[in-house]
Structure 1
Amino acid sequence: MANRFFEGAAHAAAYAKFRPRPPTSLAERIVSFAKETIFMSRNGIKKTNNSQGETLKAAADVGCGSGQSTEILSPYVEAVTGLDVSEAQVLEARKLNKYPNITYKVSPAETLPFSDKSLSLVTSCQACHWFDMPAFYKEVDRILVPGGVLALYGYLFPKPIHENFGDELYSLIDHLYKEQLKDYVHQGSKEVYLGKYEAEKYTLIYKDQLRDESHYVDKIATVAELTGYLTSWSGFQNFRAKNGDEAAQKILENFQDKFIKTLKVSTTPEETSIPLRFHYFLLMGRKPSE
């Protein structure tokens, strides 16, 4: 059973507002890999036949949250289904949905509502560390067509881009996560931000696989918006639940004060903007063709 850390309506709204949208380059890489027909020729040489002009028939984005990772599939797939165990997240995703070929459903990752061999692609962004991975992999193998693709990916802490203080600003984010919230951070979260899904439990079940860490997305945010992003961390939500709103607010205010002082500006957090870079990592595997 997946862990349930993102079910509150307020948390779902923060997740929708502050979490990054995956870059187009990452979506194109996933779809390109999913469209390849790989086979072995008689002399044992691997060949690739691309059908890049065609759209995929059906895909699912598991652990979709408020839909950022589901939306990127819309231009490339005829029918996309976003699924999340949290009803609050699904309601938020439905409220924000602008794509007629996307639907959202409440569903755990371990029991997916699709028939056998019915999907060309299954994705999961920043979510599978909450899953029962053996059960999830079993379901993925059941619903993927032969040659279908599973793509797992996530992103690291946002790195402030600044010619003078970039490293110092990043260290404030790193310290908050590793020190101030360390007793409240779930092990699965560490396996994303610190481990990039390199632990043995994430080893893909298909031999035809690859890892790609070349993608990133830049986002301009105010210091107040960056602080809002930090509230979407499960570790922060656990701290808030244990210690109360006042203690949680104090952590955020201290972070903002240090960030502004490091920048050496006199503007407020709401008035101060900073470029942020989110680096992504991607694991993909292809189900064998029959």
Structure 2
Amino acid sequence: MEQASFRVFETNLVSDLYAKGRPTYDDKIVKHIIGSILTKIKGEKHELMVEVACGSGQATNVLAPYFHNVFATDVSESQIALAKAGNQFDHIKYQVGSAEEIDVKDASADLLVAAESVQFFDLDKFFSEVRRVLKPGGCFAVIGYVHPNVTPITSNGVQRQLTASLTNAVKNTIIDNIGKKLVPIYYEVQNGYPKIFEAMPAKQKLKEYFHCIYDTWKLKNVCDFVNSAILLKCPDETFPIDSENKRVEVLNAFVSNVSQMLESSEISPDSVTSYEADYKMTVITASEFE
């Protein structure tokens, strides 16, 4: 599968919004990934985890306790700066670098992770690096999601009748406000990486789905996620990636749309105590790369 690499999270503004608006990964996902290694490599702690496109460290910090050493890279200097600022462990080393050229020795990694990122890589070059970096029996793990299903919660309970309309509002706001080249990538992730999974040159590969649910979000948290996903583009597109006025315009329209949906269901926006955000996350584990 031919795919060029895309760099969309490199600016300081986008990195800050990403760190603020994106979810962490819960124990179900961590245990599933670590369990995939434990079936192949024995030991209380594994030696080395490598993470590519680590962003601000959302996956790095939850997986790090299972390894003696962690090496995490991202092409964005601003993302690495944020990851270092939020580093929770002494044995994590962050470094600017690309997924297509990983600065570790051959056959050295017990686990190689790409969280919310493999869709942006040059896959031929990246899979060649996966093959080179993993030690015999090592595991490659992919985590991916697009947007949460959003449901308002009032004193009368969870308002499931509004889940579909509010979730579509989130999705459409994102789709309508990203570069055109990113739209097919968005749907590839939403559909569970079908093309990338098929193209993955591994003898053993498994795809699972997990739900990470946050039930204490405020509307501000929903807006923070939307803000982290809009106005992204590929470098050769002329989309206004850093237009603050455009961000305010898009977010105000989104909030207004949410209010109208609530009121049409005879729910006052002020009566909403919180929002449930249900992320459906795709997790792929693979080994024995050819």
Partner of 1:47: none
TM-score, scaled to structure 2: 0.85
1:255 is aligned to 2:251: no
The code of the aligned residue for 1:32 comes to G
Within the candidate set 147, 153, 164, 1:167 is matched to: 164
Identity %: 23
Q: Which aligned pairs between 1:263-278 and structure 2 lie closer than 5 A? A: 263=262, 264-267=267-270, 273-278=274-279
User: Is the alpha carbon distance of 1:175 and 1:186 closer, same or farther for their aligned partners in structure 2, counting shifts above 3 Å?
Assistant: closer
1:3 is aligned to 2:6: yes
The code of the aligned residue for 2:189 comes to V
The code of the aligned residue for 2:222 comes to L
Distance in 2 between residues matched to 1:131 and 1:202, nearest whole Å? 15
**1:178, distance to aligned residue in structure 2 (A):** 3.6
1:67 is aligned to 2:62: no
Query: Partner of 1:207: helix, strand, or coil?
Result: strand
Query: Partner of 2:71: helix, strand, or coil?
Result: strand
TM-score, scaled to structure 1: 0.85
Q: Which aligned pairs between 1:1-290 and structure 2 lie closer than 5 A? A: 2-37=5-40, 51=42, 54-161=44-151, 162-179=159-176, 181=178, 183=180, 185-193=182-190, 195-200=191-196, 203-213=199-209, 215-219=210-214, 220-233=216-229, 235-238=230-233, 241=240, 244-263=243-262, 264-267=267-270, 273-287=274-288
* Range 145-154 or range 53-62, more displaced: 53-62
Which digits, 9 at most, give the CA deviation of each residue in 1:55-110, with x for residues without a partner?
Answer: 11101111110000111111211111211011110000001111122221110111
Query: Partner of 1:73: helix, strand, or coil?
Result: helix
User: Is the alpha carbon distance of 1:242 and 1:93 closer, same or farther for their aligned partners in structure 2, counting shifts above 3 Å?
Assistant: closer
Structure 1, unmatched stretches of 5+, are 38-49
Partner of 1:42: none
Structure 2, unmatched stretches of 5+, are 152-158
Is the 1:209–1:284 Cα contact (8 Å) retained in structure 2? yes
Distance in 2 between residues matched to 1:62 and 1:288, nearest whole Å? 17
The code of the aligned residue for 1:284 comes to T
Is the 2:131–2:289 Cα contact (8 Å) retained in structure 1? no
- Note the aligned Cα RMSD (angstroms): 2.5
The code of the aligned residue for 2:98 comes to P
Distance in 2 between residues matched to 1:181 and 1:67, nearest whole Å? 24
